[in-house]
Amino acid sequence: MTDLATYNFAYLDEQTKRMIRRAILKAISIPGYQVPFASREMPMPYGWGTGGVQVTAAILGPDDVLKVIDQGADDTTNAVSIRAFFQKVANVAVTTKTREATIIQTRHRIPEETLTAGQTLVYQVPIPEPLRFLEPRETETRKMHALEEYGLMHVKLYEDIARNGHIATTYAYPVKVEGRYVMDPSPTPKFDNPKMHMSEALQLFGAGREKRIYAVPPYTEVVSLDFEDHPFEIQHFDKPCALCGAEQVYLDEVILDDKGGRMFVCSDTDHCEDRRAHGHAGHLLAQQEAAE
């Protein structure tokens, strides 16, 4: 007997999977629209990716290869525990290699490597409603989406400019999907927004506490909101990754000591390891090798 015997495949019961699957199909048909669904209690607290986990559980099959990342890393708590969860309840193959994965569940990053047609990216979403911090009432935000009334969002971005001289929103940067729905891309850095545009991979978003599922089909327009005189810009980094020397990637700041030492390294751990394995070395790695 395996551990599987005590659970249905992928933890959820079949009725729940059907309900989630129907929501996913409607979400794909209405790109960027948040489909309400009967989110279940999962064996982890809200805020730990219960929405993403339910979406993954509903689509996952025995032939899938699953990758789970948390802020780009395969080896942080949230990623490790969700990966272990699906190994236990679905006996599914797992990987840390972006290229090998068929389903990638993510908390707040899109892998640096371009995703392909055979892959599905599942986002864990805390607050799916992009207008929520501007208008707390669900009845009102629903009406705003219905009427395509998104002026408030532009006011918010304008206020950024009025206060800071530039659009200061750096993550969960609002996008417009296929020219219709304004959507929250989940708290990914805005650096990743351009990767959502015309992606070959299907992108699914699950918000467990807020009970919403939404989707961006492949080859779909995803445009970050901006102004003609303040066009959308992604973050830029002064230095390449200290370990692999990669440029044009998203970097995390790591404190090295209590004397102000710090380094900037790839947030995508798989991308960084892959580059190092292919002989790329950043300045810190080169220094370390020289010392040895």
Partner 1 sequence: MGVQTEIHASAYAGAFTDPVFQSQSVFRALMDAMARPGTIVPLGAAAMPPAPLGAGAGAIALTLCDDGTPVWLTNALVQSSVPAWLSFHTSAPLTNLKPEARFVFIEAGGLVPGFDQFALGTQEYPDRSATLVLELASLHGGPEFVAAGPGIKSETIIAPLGLPEIFLTLWAENRALFPRGVDLILVAGTDVLCLPRTTKLRRREV
By beta-carbon proximity to partner 1, the closer residue of 50 and 199 is 199
By beta-carbon proximity to partner 1, the closer residue of 19 and 249 is 19
Q: How many CB atoms lie within 10 A of CB 273?
A: 16
Q: Is 220 in the site for partner 1 (CB under 8 A)?
A: yes
Q: Is 146 in the site for partner 1 (CB under 8 A)?
A: yes
- Is 282 a catalytic site residue? no
By beta-carbon proximity to partner 1, the closer residue of 33 and 205 is 33
Q: Is 143 in the site for partner 1 (CB under 8 A)?
A: yes
Q: Is 24 in the site for partner 1 (CB under 8 A)?
A: yes
Nearest approach in angstroms of CB 77 to partner 1 is 29
Q: Is 180 in the site for partner 1 (CB under 8 A)?
A: yes
Q: How far is CA 238 from CA 117, 130, 250, 263, in A?
A: 33, 30, 11, 12
| Binding residue (CB under 8 A) for partner 1 from 142, 154, 197, 230 | 142
Alpha carbon distance 254, 183 (integer Å): 31
Q: Is 145 in the site for partner 1 (CB under 8 A)?
A: yes
By beta-carbon proximity to partner 1, the closer residue of 157 and 215 is 215
Biggest alpha carbon–alpha carbon distance for the chain: 64
**How far, in whole angstroms, is CA 48 from its chain's centroid?**
13
Q: Buried b / exposed e across 191-217, counting CB within 10 Å, b at 16+? A: bbbbbbeebebbbbbbbbebbbbbbbb
- Is 241 a catalytic site residue? yes
Q: Is 202 in the site for partner 1 (CB under 8 A)?
A: yes
Alpha carbon distance 97, 116 (integer Å): 13
List the catalytic residues.
32, 241, 244, 266, 272
